[in-house]
Amino acid sequence: MDLFKIGPAPGTTKISSVQSEQDAPQERKKPESAERANALQTGGFPNAPDILELSASFQKMRMEEQELLGIKQALLKTQQDLQLKLVKEIDKKKLAIEALRSEIPTIQNRCRQLGQVLGVDIYK
């Protein structure tokens, strides 16, 4: 599409044909991975250095994945161990609370009996 541009000179009009910036093809460099995928889709085959590069990249990604899986497994084990420890601590607290609850009536009875013997009202 041609556009006409009027020059900025005051008092004169200069008309020139300029290709619009919108119509100008924008050349963008495709990422290498997109170029490889495009070559494979169109029936082209990557050359030997590209295959070696792809293989090395794949191996690196595989190693990183294994490392991350190892970290994940270690964290899951730690989480499980901590949860088990917490459950054991909760069970200990439950037993301690039950023991205290069962001791209180016995101690109250002793206090009442001692108060009666001494003639002291323990419920002041």
For 43: left if phi > 0, alpha if psi spans -120 to 50, otherwise beta; the answer is left
For 15: left if phi > 0, alpha if psi spans -120 to 50, otherwise beta; the answer is beta
pTM here is: 0.49
3-state secondary structure of 14: coil
Q: Residue 15's pLDDT band (boundaries 50, 70, 90)?
A: very low
Dist. CA 116–CA 94, nearest whole Å: 34
Q: Residue 100's pLDDT band (boundaries 50, 70, 90)?
A: very high
Place of tokens 């070696």: 52
Q: Residue 1's pLDDT band (boundaries 50, 70, 90)?
A: very low
Q: Residue 66's pLDDT band (boundaries 50, 70, 90)?
A: very high
